[in-house]
Structure 1
Amino acid sequence: MSRAEGARHPLRLVRASRVITMDGASDSRGGVDAFVTLGERVIAVGDAGDLRGRFPEAETVDLGGGVVVPGFNDAHAHPSLLADGGLYMDLAPAVTRSAEDVRRALAERAARTPDGGWVVGHNFDVSRTEDGGAVDRALLDRVSARHPVLIIHYSYHGAVANSAALAAAGYDEHTPDPVGGELVRDGGRLTGVVWERAWMEGFLGHGSRPPLVPAPTTEARVGSLRRVIGEMNAAGITSICDAMVHPHDWKLYQTARDQGVLTARVGMLLWYEFFDPAPGPATGFGDEWLRFTGVKMMSDGAVSGGTCLCSRPYRGARGEPTGGIQVMPDEEITDVVHRVHAAGARLAVHANGDLAIAKVLDAMERATAATPPRPGQAHRIEHCSVVDGRLVRRIRDLGVIPVPFGAFVRYHGRNLLDHYGPERAARISPHRTFREAGITVAGSSDHPCGPPEPLYALQSLTTRRSLDGTVLGEEERLTPYEALEVYTVGSAAASGEEHVKGRIAPGYLADFTVLAEDPLRADPERLAEVPVTGTWVGGRPVWGG
C-alpha cells in the first residue's frame, strides 16, 4: 500500500477493555479486546496481542478502559423535522415550562415578525407543560391578532392554531372534520387544537395545495441538521433511519453529504404520496452513507398522544372514551400497500393500535398473496404498540419487522397509564413477546417524540420502569444483551443491512460506540447514566475520541 493509499484507507488496530461484537458465542465467552479496521471496514477481530502480530504495520488506537459496542442504530427517528433552520420557536418543556412561558416566547417572536408573517413553535408537550391544556386558540389569540400563530405538537400528530391561522387554513365552526383528522371543538367552537390530517394537510399542504407554514432554505436546514445529527452522535448513534422524508428532505440530506457534514449513515423512508413505482428508486438505492430504505405511510394516530386506533375504547388525551383516529381509510391503506409491495419496495407503515395493525396486516396479506415478495423485501410496522397473540402470529408468518418505541415506557409511562389503563399500558411495546415468537425487532426513538439516547432506551427496555417509578409490563423486560441486540442487529435488519451493520465482525462497517462502562454488567436502573466517550463511523471518530 502506498502512502497516499494508506491515508485514504488507514489500517488501525483498536484495543479496548472489552469489545462486545454481538456474536453470541464470542460474547458469551467474555468477548474479545481488539479488532482491526481497514478504511471503513472491520477486517479482523480477536485478541490484541495476536492481532498486533498479524498486523504489525497497523496504527494502534488504545481506548483504555472503554467498552466497545457496535454503533447504535436508530431505526425510526425524524432528524429532518428538527432541521428547521432556526425558523421555529423551541417550546420544549425544558425551555417553556408553563402556558404563560409559551405565550411570552411566541409574543416576543411575533414582535420581531412583520405583520401577516407566520409565528411557529414546535416541540410543545401539553402533558409536561404547566397548565398545558390552557394552550389553545384563545391563548394564541393573545399572542397576536396580526399574525397566524401555530404550535406543532412534539409528536407531529397535532397542532394548536390561533384564529388567524385557522382562517388561513380555511377552517371555521362549520368545517367538517377532514377524513383522517379532527378539528377539536368545545360547544361547537373550534378550540384551535387540530389532529392528524386536519393539521398536516391543512397547514403543511397536500397535493396541489402549497404549505402555509413557511419553510427555511436548504442551507439554513443543513446547519440545523448538522447540529441534530451531532447530538445523536454524542449519544452513540452511528446510523439513523429518517422515518418520513419529502423531496425537500432528500435534497437536504444530499446537500449535507456533498458538503461533508453528514456524520451518521442515513436511510430514508419516502412519504407515500411522493412514491412513483414507475421511475421511482428501488429499495436500497444509494450507498452505505445515504440510501432509500422504503416507503412510509400512516394508518392511525399517536400512542403517547392518546389517538391510536384500538378495537376497545380508552380514555385518550381528553379523558373521554375514544377508539382513536384512523388517518387513512381502509381503501387507501389497501391501495398504497398493494402498489408499493408490487413495485418491490419496502413498506414502513405507522400503526400503533391493535385495530390499525390488523387493517395493515389484512392489506399486506392480500398484497403478498397477489404478488410474491422479492428477496429481502421485509416490510415493517412502525411502533406496533398494542398487539394480541393472533396479531403476533400474523406478523411472524408474514416476516414483518416491528419497530417499537425503545424509550416510551420510561419516558411516556404516565401518559400510557392515563390513556389506556394499567392492563393495556403493560402490553405496549411488547419487545419480549415479539422476540419469543421468533420475530426480529428493531430499536426506535421516534425522536423528537422521545429522547434520542439509546442508553436511555436500553434502561427502559430492561426495567420497564416509568419516570414516576411504576413498572409497566414486567414480563416484557429484556436482558441487557437482548436490548443491545434490538438497537444493533435488529435495526440493521429493518433496513435490509444486517450483512454490513449491527456487529463488529470481518466485512462489517467499522461503526462503533465507546462506553465508559460495560452495559451488560451495569445496573439496568442506571444504564441511561453510562457515559458515551466516543462514536466512530467508517473507522473515523465523529464524536469524542
Structure 2
Amino acid sequence: MTVNEKLYFNGDIITLEDDLYVEAVLVKDGKISKIGKKDDLLQCACKDVEFIDLQGKTLIPSFIDAHSHFFGYANSTLQVNLDEAINFQEIGDKITNFIQKNNIEEGVWISCNNFDYNALEEKTYPKIDFLDKIAPKNPLVVSNKSGHNGLFNSLAFKELGIDVNTPDPEGGKFFKENGQLTGYAEENAYIEYVQKVPMASTEDIIKAIGKAQDAYASYGITTVQEGMVVSLLSDFLLYIANSNILKIDYVGYADIRESESILGKLGDYKKQYKNHFKLGGYKTFLDGSPQGRTAWMRTPYEGEPDYYAYGTQKDEELKSKLEQALKEDMQILVHCNGDRACQQYIDMYRIAKEETASTNDIRPVIIHAQLLGEDQLDEVKELNMIPSFFVAHVYHWGDIHIKNFGMQRASKISLLKSAEDKGITFTLHQDAPVIEPNMLETIWVAVTRTTKNGVSLGEEERIEPLEALKAVTKNAAYQYFEEDTKGTIREGKLADLTILDKNPLKVDYEAIKDIQVIETIKEGETIFKR
C-alpha cells in the first residue's frame, strides 16, 4: 500500500491554535499527521515523503464558507450578469447580447443576476414595458443582488400564473401602478415565484457545478454551504452527491417548511457526509435586506418616519419552527438583517427552549445579523447563538446604509468588536452569489471598515486580522459542528489547507485585500493552484 505523505516547511505556518506558528506540517493520507520542528517530523516521515517548500509563503487552515448559496452561485454562471450595468441601456444591451450570443430560442426562460438599482444612474428599477421590449419572446426574470426582490416581464408573469388579481403573499408584495403590474416584486412575492422558474438542463448545471467548485477553491475555500434547500432542489442535490463529482465539502440547510419532503430524499445525508455532501440542518428567514429597505427595524428608515419595513412570519409560526429544530436536534439558520427581526428570533428561541425543555445544542445561527443591536448581544451570548455577519456590506453597500439609516446607525452595522469583547463566537460570510466568496476581501473589510466611497464606517467595530481569520476558519468549523476535524492546523484534523502569497497577520491592513491564494488543498490533495 502506497503511503501519501507531504512535508510543508520554509514559510509562515499559522495554526490558529494556542501555539500560533509552527515550523513544519506533515500530512499523511489526507490528515495532519504531525506538526512541529522540521527535523523532528522527518523522523516520523516515510522515505518517500514529498517535500513542499513554501518558499516564504504562508500556510493556513483552508477557508470555510459560513453562509452562501452554492447552487445559486453555480446557476449564476448560466445567467446574465448585470453587476457592472450602470443604467437601463446597459441592462438592455447585456440581455440582448446574451440572447444573440447563446442563440436563445423563443419561449426559453432568461435569468439575470446581480441587479442593483442603487448602482444605476436612474436610481430606480426599469418597468415592465422596458423588460418586454428587450425580451419580447422570452420569459425574463431579473434577480436583485440581495436575493429578496426582482423583476419579471409580462411573459414571465403569464408563465407563472401571475396577473393583477394575484394576491400578495404574506411578507411580500407585487408592485402596481394605475392598477397594472410594474414588473417589480419583493420578499415572499418574489421568492415564492422565482423558485418556480425552470432550471437549466442537467448537463449545463453539472458543468456549472464544476465551475463553481473551481471558483470557491480559487478563493481558498474547501467547505461550502447551500443556504436554502427547497424540495425542488433536493432531487438535484441527491443526484450531485451520488455522482461523486464533489471535491469540496457541501453542507445543505433545508427550508424547514418542506423538511419532511426533503428529509425523505436526503435522510441518508442528515448530519453526516457521504460523497462530500451532508444535510446540516434547517433554514428560515424573517426579513429582507437593508440596502433594499426591507430589513425589519426597531427604528424607522431615514426619510420615512413611519416605515420600519416588515417581518415575514408571525411569532407563533417562528416559535413552532424553532421548537421543531430543538426537538429534532437539528441546527437552524435564520436570516435576520434588521434588529427587529433579530429580536423576534431571540425572543422566540428563548420561549421555544423553555417550552420544549430541550437540552440539545443546536448552535442556532443568526444569518447576516447586520443591524443586530448592541443591547441584544447579551441575550445572544446567553442563548449561545452564533451571529454570522455579512460584514463586507460595509464596503459594498455602506454608502447606501448611511442614506437609509443615517451615519450613527449605519456605523453600528456588523458589531464585530462588540461581539468579540463579549466573548461571542461569530463567523463571517459573503452570501454568494450576492458577492464573490472572497474571504480575503471580507477579512480586509472587517479590519478596515471603509465604504466604496472611502467613508470610514464604524471604526470602533474594527477587529484585528487574527480575529477575522479565525472567523472564517476556526469559528466557521465550530458553526458546522466540525471543530474536531477542521478550522485549525492540529494533529488528527483533515489536511484542508490554503497557501497564500503573503501573511495576512503581517502585511499592512490595506494590503490584505491584495493577497493571492496560491494553492488550495482538500484532504491532502491540491484542488486549485495558481
TM range (shorter): over 0.9
Report matched runs for 1:295-374 at 5 Å. Answer: 295-315=282-302, 322-374=307-359
What is the letter of the counterpart of residue 26 of structure 1? D
| Residue 23 (structure 2) aligned to one of 4, 16, 33 | 33
Post-superposition offset of 1:349 = 0.5
Q: Could you tell me how far apart the structure 1 residues matched to 2:370 and 2:420 are?
A: 14
Kept in 1, the 8 Å contact 2:287–2:295? The answer is yes
Count of paired positions: 524
Kept in 2, the 8 Å contact 1:284–1:292? The answer is yes
Provide the secondary structure at the position in 2 that maps to 1:291: strand
Residue 217 (structure 2) aligns with: 233
Is 1:50 matched with 2:40? yes
Kept in 2, the 8 Å contact 1:110–1:143? The answer is no
Post-superposition offset of 1:237 = 1.0
Kept in 2, the 8 Å contact 1:315–1:321? The answer is no
Residue 462 (structure 1) aligns with: 447
Post-superposition offset of 1:61 = 1.7
Kept in 1, the 8 Å contact 2:64–2:477? The answer is yes
Kept in 1, the 8 Å contact 2:76–2:113? The answer is no
Is 1:276 matched with 2:260? yes
Which shows bigger deviation, 484-493 or 251-260? 251-260
Provide the secondary structure at the position in 1 that maps to 2:226: strand
Deviation by residue 1:155-186 (Cα, 9 ceiling, x = unmatched)? 21111112332344444445443211022234
Is 1:286 matched with 2:280? no
Residue 403 (structure 2) aligns with: 418
Q: Could you tell me how far apart the structure 2 residues matched to 1:541 and 1:364 are?
A: 42
Q: Could you tell me how far apart the structure 2 residues matched to 1:501 and 1:370 are?
A: 34
Question: Cα distance 1:201–1:151, how it changes in 2: closer, same or farther (>3 A)?
Answer: same
Question: Cα distance 1:482–1:533, how it changes in 2: closer, same or farther (>3 A)?
Answer: same
Provide the secondary structure at the position in 2 that maps to 1:285: coil
What is the letter of the counterpart of residue 65 of structure 1? G
Provide the secondary structure at the position in 1 that maps to 2:341: helix
Post-superposition offset of 1:447 = 1.0
Question: Cα distance 1:119–1:288, how it changes in 2: closer, same or farther (>3 A)?
Answer: closer
Root-mean-square deviation over aligned CA pairs? 2.3
Provide the secondary structure at the position in 1 that maps to 2:224: strand
Q: Could you tell me how far apart the structure 2 residues matched to 1:406 and 1:251 are?
A: 33
Kept in 2, the 8 Å contact 1:180–1:329? The answer is no
Kept in 2, the 8 Å contact 1:221–1:252? The answer is no
Q: Could you tell me how far apart the structure 2 residues matched to 1:267 and 1:433 are?
A: 29
Post-superposition offset of 1:144 = 3.6
Deviation by residue 1:475-501 (Cα, 9 ceiling, x = unmatched)? 111101011010111111111111111
Residue 202 (structure 1) aligns with: 193
Post-superposition offset of 1:248 = 4.6
Q: Could you tell me how far apart the structure 1 residues matched to 2:306 and 2:132 are?
A: 30
Residue 102 (structure 1) aligns with: 91
Post-superposition offset of 1:21 = 0.2
Deviation by residue 1:217-248 (Cα, 9 ceiling, x = unmatched)? 33321211111121111111111122112345
Q: Could you tell me how far apart the structure 1 residues matched to 2:193 and 2:516 are?
A: 43
* Unaligned stretches of 5+ residues in structure 2: none
| Residue 21 (structure 1) aligned to one of 8, 15, 27 | 15
Deviation by residue 1:115-170 (Cα, 9 ceiling, x = unmatched)? 44433222222223443624221210222444332211122111111233234444
Q: Determine what percentage of the aligned residue pairs are the same residue.
A: 26
Is 1:80 matched with 2:67? no
Which shows bigger deviation, 479-488 or 399-408? 399-408
Provide the secondary structure at the position in 2 that maps to 1:465: coil
Post-superposition offset of 1:467 = 1.8
Q: Could you tell me how far apart the structure 1 residues matched to 2:455 and 2:328 are?
A: 45
TM-score (norm 2): 0.93
Provide the secondary structure at the position in 1 that maps to 2:434: coil
What is the letter of the counterpart of residue 36 of structure 2? G
Question: Cα distance 1:86–1:445, how it changes in 2: closer, same or farther (>3 A)?
Answer: closer
| Residue 125 (structure 1) aligned to one of 116, 120, 135 | 116
Q: Could you tell me how far apart the structure 1 residues matched to 2:321 and 2:348 are?
A: 9
Kept in 2, the 8 Å contact 1:173–1:188? The answer is yes
Residue 445 (structure 1) aligns with: 430
TM-score (norm 1): 0.90
